Structure 1
Amino acid sequence: MTVLTVRVKPNAKQQKAVHLDDGSWLLHLKAPPQDGRANQELIVLLAQGLDIPKTQVHIRSGHTARIKRVEIDA
């Protein structure tokens, strides 16, 4: 199990992931932060990037915040 600190920017023009110097990730998401759409896009983006199933990616804290703790079961 790995825990990542992720900062999200919803409503971005293009989707991308940037690894920051402090070890955390900055994810630019196209989805708006409404009805959990940005969180779902976050899970899909991380699962695709790590080549693992979406069921192995869980948001542990920060569901409504821009800074999230994400758990990866791999």
Structure 2
Amino acid sequence: MTKSKKVTEVKPSQPSTSVEIDSAISLNKTGQIVLKIHAKPGAKKSIVTDIGTQEIGIAIAAPPREGQANEELVETIARILGLKKSEISLDKGTKSRSKILMVESKKLSIDQVRERLINSMD
């Protein structure tokens, strides 16, 4: 009596919901630009510290209390990108250092966003 082994077919994973240039900056299916952020609260100045393949490092000049760092993060990204605060929203990560921001403006392309983030590091 041998048991037959069930052979399962390996199916390719579901297609990604975002068009990725690199995973730190991507475009979701609704056309919004998605920024994956690694926040570093409590810094002296709010600046972009690095742009990696997985996340964008940002030092935030606000303590991580009562949403102050999140507010400062949105203000900093809006200032760097030349947008209104209302065009940037915190999608995930209100109590985490890893955050996802949505850029709801159609004024900028992914390349323009990346360029402005890189230029702000100078």
TM > 0.5 between the two?
Answer: yes
Alpha-carbon distance, 1:11 to partner: 0.5
SS of structure 2 residue aligned to 1:45: helix
Q: Which residue of 2 aligns with 1:37?
A: 68
d(CA) in 1 for partners of 2:98 and 2:72? 15
**Structure 1 counterpart of 2:58, from 14, 27, 32:** 27
Q: How many residues align?
A: 74
Whichever residue aligns with residue 15 of structure 1, its letter is: S
Q: Which residue of 1 aligns with 2:38?
A: 7
Structure 1 residues 7-48: Cα deviation after superposition (integer angstroms, max 9, x where no partner): 101001222113423152111011000010000000000001
Runs of 4+ in 1 over 4 A off after TM superposition: none
Q: Which residue of 2 aligns with 1:46?
A: 77
Determine what percentage of the aligned residue pairs are the same residue: 27
Long gaps (5+) in structure 2: 1-31, 106-122
SS of structure 1 residue aligned to 2:75: helix
Long gaps (5+) in structure 1: none
d(CA) in 2 for partners of 1:37 and 1:21? 25
Whichever residue aligns with residue 43 of structure 1, its letter is: V
Please report the TM-score for the alignment, with normalisation by the length of structure 2.
Answer: 0.57
